[in-house]
Amino acid sequence: MEIRKLDQMFEVLATRPKKRMVAAWAIDAHTICAVGEAVQKGIVEGILVGDRQIIAKVAAENNLDPAIFQIVHAESDLSAATLAVDLINQGKGDFLMKGLLSTDRYMRAILNKERGLMDPGAILTHITVAEPANYHKLLTFGDVAIIPQPDLNQKIVITNYLIKTAHFLGIETPKVGLLSASEQTLPKLSSSYDAALIAKMAERGQIKGAIVDGPLALDLILDKESAEIKGMADNPVCGDADCILFPNIESGNTFYKTVVKLLKSELCAVVSGARVPCVLTSRGDSERSKLYSIALAALQAK
């Protein structure tokens, strides 16, 4: 089934075996409540790595029975992160989530060469799925958080993760728009060059499973009427994109925040590229958004 609303992820997950999520340094109300809600919704099993006593106390304060979680004791944020990653590597968990520790420490545990979650040569990237008001389907896009200025090779990797994520959402042949400021290939706009190259690679079957086009400006990617006015109505991606590749973090991050703050729309995100999906929510995210991120990671977990 093609998921067109974020809520529909729950319906799909309900039909599948539950995935085991491991939350690293899950000692704060934000994390424990998010995992608790996911567990109570029946979409995951929750493993909380952290100080056993604190977890029990915080759970009780938030009217959660600690017994719904499996708790693995850890003394500090650092040891919790290492332990959480170890659990994944031992096959005792299916995906990872960040608790109260800093993003930096969380990422370092994932990226650790000996004990982390990276295969050689793998590239970590941040993929967002949004349900923007006024758009007729979900939008998967990246990278808004990890790779500041992706080069051609990294853009290809991100494009492939966007496509993969769309496939997990049940979109058989997603349409990917490669963002630039114009649909023309212009020497002073390096994003337009990379976009043209990636589009050609897709045409040659070097990128599979999607219809890819670019360079395209945002209006062309999202709005049929703009495409018609600019004579691009025949373009299969225009006005009907499932995915957007942003040329840099500034444009991606701005779009992300516009969706959340101006459109007041829900979204969720996952870090792709490690051996398992990694949830990286921030305290600024809404409760709903955290739950969606867990669901998105669960959809992608093997």
Binding footprint of other proteins on the chain (CB under 8 A): 152-153, 183-185, 187, 193, 195-197, 199-201, 204, 206, 215
Rg (CA), the chain: 20
Cβ of residue 147: shortest distance to other proteins, in angstroms?
18
Burial pattern 262-294, b for ≥16 Cβ within 10 A else e, equals eeebbbbbbbbbbbbbbbbbeeebeeebbbbbb
Cβ of residue 179: shortest distance to other proteins, in angstroms?
14
Rounded to whole angstroms, the Cα distance separating 225 from 222 reads: 9
Cβ of residue 15: shortest distance to other proteins, in angstroms?
37
Helices (H), 148-217: 152-168, 190-203
Beta carbon nearer to other proteins, 78 or 189: 189
Beta carbon nearer to other proteins, 42 or 236: 236
**Strand (E) or helix (H) holding 249:** helix 249-257
Beta carbon nearer to other proteins, 22 or 195: 195
Cβ of residue 156: shortest distance to other proteins, in angstroms?
10
Cβ of residue 197: shortest distance to other proteins, in angstroms?
5
Beta carbon nearer to other proteins, 24 or 232: 232
Beta carbon nearer to other proteins, 111 or 218: 218
Sheet holding 266-272, edge to edge: 70-73, 44-50, 19-24, 95-98, 278-279, 266-272, 125-131, 139-142, 243-245, 175-179, 211-216
